[in-house]
């Protein structure tokens, strides 16, 4: 099956007129630049075609209030207004969920089911997701702010595909018979690890749910999953679909809450056998420390990135501009593998910058429920303000602001698509993960120069290379210290393609066969053989 591609969105022609207008020049540059109007007024937000049904925690097959009775608001990033109030889980709720998961693993039917039976439940769940895809896409857009077309046409189909993939693995997990010196029969058993704690981020709530839950269930584990406090709604919705698909009580438990309370309690819990976390590198360090200080549970981490996107002088510039634009601005720039350092060969640099600026100015920003919109709001006020601070830092560092640089309107968390040129490697906008619609374009001289600079980062999640030379592509794919290298493409994801980082971008791999290793123990079994016919 062809790889699921976020980059299929590149093929969609957006004919909407630019929402913003040119209003002046950047004092840092002799060239005139396009600036976006901060007076842009959006129409009244479109009413999402979905009702909020599930706001309680799921523990042992039942939706329940938090033990404390507390709730917290989840917000519409288009307006900053409250969508719903959700149960605020804390340490006591985590304790109850872990107890339910432990009982389901030790005494319940799930680990004792045949792998084929587990596979059928995963397939029934995938079918239910397809049946409810319209509601889920609307809920994801409402709670997260991503374009509805992206959620409905790319992410929901990918969610279904992921669970089909892991359903297929459920009855294909097995050990080996191992030859050994001497008269012994040696075999290995691949056993579920037990109770898996999982903490997912807010930028791709449903997909990260699938990346974590799919392999854990295929291997026969039970789960306590903590949602991101910014986007709890879709995980609770699909949890109900799992119950409808026949998943036994206690196998999947969902806690909504905050990192310092619910997240810390889960990572440090003595009866959790494994932790999987996706989020920032800083928080990943805390999760790993909590896991080590408690019962030394194994940890997989998918963390931050500052991925280089490298364009050589033999590239088709128009195609390179479009792909580099997509690599950075996709999902409002809120993507851990975003191509946030755009390295362009000096021979084509000026032409590339002009065309990249023009493409950013054409980017359609607005209500993500509106057809043809490419960019919605940032997730919340905190992330919105963080992006604006980095833009200010770029200006103060004497990078050239080509376009953008401010908010859009006075409601919600919309940021103008922003492009900087003349960016230097020591600037914060070239070093830190901004997680927003800010493209930094750097100039390089030759292949050795760009390899050295691209690798001179604490991150190593992904990289992109755009070239017409097979020799250059082969050199770069081996030289770049990153977990994924996309050649003449970007953000190509498939259930079978492993994803994870080098260096401070994480530990372990998500998706594909490699993800199963995160949720299995390997047991060696040795027994003597008397008078064997053969060894």
C-alpha torsion angle, residues 342, 345, 351, 357 (rounded to 10): 10
Report yes or no: 277 and 510 within 8 Å, Cβ to Cβ.
Answer: no
Find the largest Cα–Cα distance for the chain. Answer: 90
Q: Residue 24 burial (CB < 10 Å; 0-12/13-18/19+)? A: exposed
Q: Is 302 a catalytic residue?
A: yes
H helical segments located in 305-446: 317-329, 349-362, 381-396, 428-431
* C-alpha neighbours within 13 Å on the C-beta side of residue 74: 29
CA 452, 455, 457, 462 torsion: positive or negative?
positive
Give me the DSSP letters along 133-169.
HHHHHHHHHHHH---HHHIIIIIHHHHHHHHHHHHHH
3-state secondary structure at position 46 = coil
Token pair of 502 as six digits: 């080098």
Q: Residue 7 burial (CB < 10 Å; 0-12/13-18/19+)? A: buried
State how far the Cα of 307 lies from the Cα of 330, in Å rounded to an integer.
14
Q: What is the CA radius of gyration of the chain?
A: 24
Report yes or no: 58 and 93 within 8 Å, Cβ to Cβ.
Answer: no
- 88, 149, 229, 302: which is the annotated catalytic residue? 302
State how far the Cα of 47 lies from the Cα of 152, in Å rounded to an integer.
16
State how far the Cα of 111 lies from the Cα of 441, in Å rounded to an integer.
51
- Residues forming the active site: 302
């Amino acid at each position: 099956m062809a790889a699921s591609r976020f980059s299929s969105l590149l093929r969609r022609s957006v004919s909407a007129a630019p929402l913003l207008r040119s209003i002046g020049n950047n004092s840092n540059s002799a060239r005139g630049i396009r600036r976006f109007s901060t007076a842009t007024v959006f129409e009244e937000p479109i009413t999402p075609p979905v009702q909020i049904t599930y706001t309680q925690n799921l523990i042992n097959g039942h939706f329940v209030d938090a033990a404390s009775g507390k709730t917290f608001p989840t917000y519409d990033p288009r307006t900053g207004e409250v969508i719903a109030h959700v149960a605020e889980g804390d340490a006591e709720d985590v304790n109850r969920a872990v107890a339910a998961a432990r009982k389901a693993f030790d005494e319940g039917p799930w680990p004792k089911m045949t792998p084929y039976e587990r596979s059928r439940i995963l397939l029934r769940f995938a079918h239910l997701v397809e049946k409810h895809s319209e509601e889920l896409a609307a809920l994801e857009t409402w709670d997260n702010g991503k374009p509805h077309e992206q959620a409905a046409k790319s992410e929901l189909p990918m969610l279904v595909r992921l669970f089909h993939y892991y359903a297929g693995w459920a009855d294909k997990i097995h050990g080996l018979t191992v030859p050994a010196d001497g008269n012994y029969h040696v075999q290995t058993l691949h056993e579920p690890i037990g109770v898996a704690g999982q903490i997912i981020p807010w930028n791709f709530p449903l997909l990260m749910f699938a990346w974590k839950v799919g392999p854990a269930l295929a291997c026969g584990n039970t789960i306590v999953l903590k949602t991101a406090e910014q986007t709890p709604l879709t995980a609770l919705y699909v949890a109900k679909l799992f119950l409808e698909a026949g998943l036994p009580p206690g196998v999947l438990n969902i806690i909504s809450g905050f990192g310092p309370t619910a997240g810390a309690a889960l990572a440090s819990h003595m009866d959790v056998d494994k932790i999987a976390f996706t989020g920032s590198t800083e928080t990943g360090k805390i999760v790993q420390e909590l896991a080590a200080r408690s019962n030394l549970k194994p940890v997989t981490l998918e963390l931050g990135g500052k991925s280089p996107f490298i364009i050589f002088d033999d590239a088709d510039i128009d195609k390179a501009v479009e792909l580099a634009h997509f690599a950075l601005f996709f999902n409002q720039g809120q993507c851990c593998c975003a191509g946030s350092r755009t390295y362009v060969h000096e021979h084509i640099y000026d032409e590339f910058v002009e065309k990249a600026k023009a493409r950013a100015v054409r980017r359609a920003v607005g209500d993500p429920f509106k057809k043809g919109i490419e960019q919605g709001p940032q997730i919340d006020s905190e992330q919105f303000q963080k992006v604006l601070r980095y833009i200010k830092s770029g200006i103060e560092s004497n990078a050239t602001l080509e376009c953008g640089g401010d908010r859009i309107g006075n409601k919600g968390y919309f940021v103008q698509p922003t492009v900087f040129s003349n960016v230097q490697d020591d600037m914060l906008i070239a070093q830190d993960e901004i997680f927003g619609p800010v493209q930094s374009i750097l100039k390089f001289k030759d292949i050795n120069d760009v390899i050295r600079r691209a690798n001179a980062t604490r991150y190593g999640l992904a990289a992109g290379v755009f070239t017409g030379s097979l020799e250059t592509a082969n050199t770069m794919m081996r030289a770049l210290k990153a977990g994924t290298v996309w050649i003449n493409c970007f953000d190509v994801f498939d259930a079978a393609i492993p994803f994870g980082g080098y260096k401070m971008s994480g530990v372990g791999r998500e998706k594909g066969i490699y993800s199963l290793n995160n949720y299995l123990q390997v047991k060696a079994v040795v027994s003597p053989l008397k008078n064997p016919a053969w060894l």
